[in-house]
Structure 1
Amino acid sequence: MNMERVVLTGMGVISPLGNSVDEMWTRMKQGESGISRIETFDTARLKTKMAGVISGFDPEGLFGRKEARKMDRFVQFAVAAADQAISNAGLKLDEMDRDRIGVYVGSGIGGLSTLVEQDRILRDRGPERVSPMLVPMMIANMAAASISIRYQLTGPTLAPVTACSIGNTAIGEAMRLIRLGIADVVIAGGAEAAVNELSLASFGNAQAISSRNDDPKAASRPFDTDRDGFVMSEGAGIVVLESLAHAQKRNAEIYGEVLGYGASSDAYHVVATHPEGAGALTAMRTAIADAGISPSEVDIISAHATSTGLGDRSEGQAISRLFGEEASRIAVTANKSMLGHMLGAAGGVEAIALIQSLREGIVPPTINLEQLDPECGITNVSSHLQSASLRIGVSNSFGFGGHNAVIVLSRFEI
């Protein structure tokens, strides 16, 4: 059976480093941090007082007041990023078969802020004042549903919930859908907007997030010996995937190709990564095999690297074991050093950054890396921007519950 080649033709981003692909990428190349002290709610009693919060985002300006009020913030981010991606792809939807256009967009936590706010209303003002829109605003599938409804896309629609690996799960499963000829185009990625008192209190009590409150921009430190946990962020990363034949027929600009996808489960613990990175290793190996390449053909790895002690160590060791002597040649970059951990949005955003790396031959810096932790088992991570000959990249995403999703991307070549 001949499989359709799957290419990437559109990109959209809402991120702590800017609400467009160009702005985010420019600031990433400059090694800027999107982390700051939280000013939108009182953090006095919280262990962590910082996050990667979206600024300059105007949902009422984008959607109108009435529509914006019907969407939780994570849905607003997802739809805004999808708008960018669809426009960037130049899709002329009125001339296309909408039954063959899918939407695979997920969120790890969904409308947590809506739930918290409506619970407060229930307790303070009674059940009569609870919004009838609570459930449709809160449920995690509503980002995918809203994009589908907005553009009348009637193909397969799915909202994967694989925690922090959602973006890669969505892109990988969308690739399979197109490969098999079930869809021509899929809008894919993830969104998250869960920066609030409840989530920060829980992550803080779990000792999972950094408490380096005196220097927020230096708090996210992947692979550094002095790392003390991840920094929570919000946003969305959405891409347009389509079959090569479909893209060429409409003379689309092609930004890159999705070569492979691998998924696995640690089957180990509800929050802790497998200490030896067994699941990460399996997912990377599967993705590379699915891409039909050898490990020696990989030029760059976009690491999941959240800045936790165990997580970074186990991922680094998995990379070292899979690539062996080649590991010292392959550039490793950790976008979360600048973006923070965008949870369900991370994979989509990091896939876009990797595509930009491959297109421009640039490895973004891993900022705040002052002393590389030798226990991570990798050596080729730079705190400075690097130029390199790049053709193929691997993007890792791992989530609570042991969900692992890895995609292989490449520059587009005929």
Structure 2
Amino acid sequence: MSDRRRRVAITGIGLVTPVGTGVVETWQSLVDARSGVAPITLFDASGFPVRIAAEVKGDAYLNLTGHRRVTKAAGRAHLFALAAAEEAMRDAGIRPEPAHAHRWGCAVGTGMVSVPYDELEALQREATRDGELDTDLLLDSWIGSDPIAFCRSQAAQGVSLLAQRYGIEGYTTSVHTACASGGQAVGTGLKLIRRGDCDWVLAGGFDSMISPLGLSGFCLLNAVSDDNDSPQQASRPFDATRNGFVLGEGAGFLVLEEWETALKRGATIYSELAGEGNSLSSYRITDSHPSGDGPIQAMQQALECARLRPDEVDYLNAHGTSTPMNDRSEAAAAHVVFGDHVANVAVSSTKSTMGHLIAAAGAVEAAVCALALHHRTIPINANLNQRDPECDLNFVCGQAIKRDLHVAMSNSLGFGGSNSCLVFRRAEDDHR
């Protein structure tokens, strides 16, 4: 019996991030270590202990979001998703046609989508009488009686908008596992193609929690950096002086395609998506176990899925949030998984410039790994000036490095204990 498996090619990439709209601008910013962290402009944050974030700049992404028929039911984060997905489709040079729409799937990592804060404020004004909420006024308000506003608040709205826009008729799912969401969505796409359910999958993640509600929650958890006077240095993964992550927003989408199908049509293949692993850490809501137990399982599963040895990995795009506990846990996991080879694995966390994109992070960082293999270049771990001795890894500092890369790995370790790991192989390497 043949041991040959369906391979998965990455043939399209689309990005909307705090350091650029589009793949070209985002990648160049990462290589140059240009930070996207700055004072918050989306709302008045003067009353918060944290007044910085990594916002998507400008509105150039709106040029890719599509017809008003779709976008009227989209919030800010949904618009990021629509724009990144469209760039990925155009980049791949293929999109669903009626004859094969049932062979297309869609897997989307999504965050805590809710009614936008400005709409909540308007609702409070319109539905308050004599200082108290009036249910009659609530039902009569434009928001309370608007079905489109209700739809925008649903967790499945992102995948629904994408499936509607592209006419996708195959397997669709929405993944909501906090910071692991985007990575698990991409991993789901791998499984769908490998087991023959789909030939193409639009996979990725999107999020925007830069709002009074989102920021207040992370402030209460003491999870975000309050270095308001030096925003570009606030996110410093693995640095001994780190004091929390920087909240970001954005979207990343990949077109995943069955390998032989991609070859037949002459598609550009950025890399092979070779393996994925998942585990659940039953330790704390916000922290991984100091031993790295959960991440270890996910990383080992991903390598086994890819049929690769630990000593074949060249680059680790670390989860690296810049929180004291999680950075140490991930470093401990890397030592266990890679053993003596750990000194040869180049490591960087691109959250050092982009901030933490929460549900979008794993998908954007999957794209970074594919681009690193494609360009044979590793982005740096910015702001690493005083290394934490408990995070003894081979960090890429100072400037991006050129290297003959063959295998890359990406970790996404989420609040609630969800751990996702993806493994990528260089497209030119012939593995069967």
Pair in the same fold by TM > 0.5: yes
Q: Using the TM superposition, name which of 229-238 and 86-95 deviates more.
A: 86-95
Say whether the 8 Å CA contact 2:408–2:425 is kept in structure 1: yes
* Matching residue of 1:13: 15
1:91 and 2:94 aligned: yes
* RMSD, aligned α-carbons: 1.5
1:294 and 2:309 aligned: yes
Instruction: Mark the structure with the bigger radius of gyration.
Output: 2
Equivalent residue in structure 2 for 1:263, among 261, 273, 278:
278
Say whether the 8 Å CA contact 1:115–1:134 is kept in structure 2: no
1:139 and 2:154 aligned: yes
Give the direction of change, closer, same or farther, for the CA distance of 1:30–1:281 in structure 2 (3 Å limit): same
Normalising by structure 2, we get a TM-score of 0.92
Q: Using the TM superposition, name which of 40-49 and 310-319 deviates more.
A: 40-49
Distance 2:342 2:41 in 1: 41
* Matching residue of 1:283: 298
1:104 and 2:107 aligned: yes
Kindly provide the amino acid, as one letter, of the partner of residue 87 in structure 1. R
Equivalent residue in structure 2 for 1:389, among 404, 409, 417:
404
* Matching residue of 2:247: 232
Q: Using the TM superposition, name which of 57-66 and 33-42 deviates more.
A: 57-66
* Matching residue of 1:45: 47
1:124 and 2:139 aligned: no
Give the direction of change, closer, same or farther, for the CA distance of 1:35–1:380 in structure 2 (3 Å limit): closer
Say whether the 8 Å CA contact 1:86–1:240 is kept in structure 2: yes
Residues 52-63 of structure 1: pairs in structure 2 closer than 5 A? 52-58=54-60, 61=63, 62-63=65-66
1:79 and 2:94 aligned: no
Say whether the 8 Å CA contact 2:42–2:210 is kept in structure 1: no
Say whether the 8 Å CA contact 2:89–2:95 is kept in structure 1: no
Superposition deviation, residue 67 in structure 1: 4.5
* Matching residue of 1:168: 183
Say whether the 8 Å CA contact 2:234–2:246 is kept in structure 1: yes
Q: Per-residue CA shift, 1:177-206, capped at 9, x if unaligned? A: 100111000000100011011111121121
Q: Per-residue CA shift, 1:370-403, capped at 9, x if unaligned? A: 0111112324442421122210001000101100
Kindly provide the amino acid, as one letter, of the partner of residue 382 in structure 1. C
Superposition deviation, residue 56 in structure 1: 2.1
Residues 307-322 of structure 1: pairs in structure 2 closer than 5 A? 307-322=322-337
Distance 2:250 2:360 in 1: 6
Kindly provide the amino acid, as one letter, of the partner of residue 341 in structure 2. E
Distance 2:307 2:405 in 1: 17
Per the alignment, in what secondary structure is the counterpart of residue 375 of structure 1?
coil
Per the alignment, in what secondary structure is the counterpart of residue 394 of structure 1?
strand
Distance 2:396 2:91 in 1: 31
Per the alignment, in what secondary structure is the counterpart of residue 229 of structure 2?
coil
Superposition deviation, residue 213 in structure 1: 0.2
Matched residue count = 412
Distance 1:132 1:93 in 2: 28
Equivalent residue in structure 1 for 2:27, among 25, 29, 32:
25
Q: Using the TM superposition, name which of 57-66 and 133-142 deviates more.
A: 57-66
Superposition deviation, residue 68 in structure 1: 3.2
1:196 and 2:199 aligned: no
Distance 2:374 2:99 in 1: 28
Say whether the 8 Å CA contact 2:378–2:396 is kept in structure 1: no
Superposition deviation, residue 117 in structure 1: 3.4
Distance 2:68 2:257 in 1: 33
Give the direction of change, closer, same or farther, for the CA distance of 1:47–1:96 in structure 2 (3 Å limit): farther
Kindly provide the amino acid, as one letter, of the partner of residue 407 in structure 1. L
Superposition deviation, residue 138 in structure 1: 1.1
Per the alignment, in what secondary structure is the counterpart of residue 371 of structure 1?
coil
Q: Using the TM superposition, name which of 71-80 and 121-130 deviates more.
A: 121-130
* Matching residue of 1:157: 172
Say whether the 8 Å CA contact 1:11–1:239 is kept in structure 2: yes
* Matching residue of 1:212: 227
1:375 and 2:375 aligned: no
Q: Using the TM superposition, name which of 341-350 and 377-386 deviates more.
A: 377-386
Superposition deviation, residue 60 in structure 1: 5.5
Q: Which runs of 5+ in 2 are unaligned?
A: 128-137
Superposition deviation, residue 72 in structure 1: 0.8
Identity of aligned residues (%): 36
Q: Per-residue CA shift, 1:272-324, capped at 9, x if unaligned? A: 22221100011001101111010010000000000000010100111011111
Q: Which runs of 5+ in 1 are unaligned?
A: none
Per the alignment, in what secondary structure is the counterpart of residue 159 of structure 1?
strand
Give the direction of change, closer, same or farther, for the CA distance of 1:59–1:260 in structure 2 (3 Å limit): closer
Q: Using the TM superposition, name which of 119-128 and 152-161 deviates more.
A: 119-128
Say whether the 8 Å CA contact 2:298–2:421 is kept in structure 1: yes
Q: Per-residue CA shift, 1:194-226, capped at 9, x if unaligned? A: 101111112112110000000100000000001
Superposition deviation, residue 77 in structure 1: 0.6
Say whether the 8 Å CA contact 1:60–1:68 is kept in structure 2: no
Per the alignment, in what secondary structure is the counterpart of residue 20 of structure 2?
coil
Kindly provide the amino acid, as one letter, of the partner of residue 6 in structure 1. V
Say whether the 8 Å CA contact 1:366–1:381 is kept in structure 2: yes
Say whether the 8 Å CA contact 2:8–2:256 is kept in structure 1: yes
* Matching residue of 1:254: 269
Say whether the 8 Å CA contact 1:210–1:229 is kept in structure 2: yes
Distance 1:10 1:59 in 2: 17
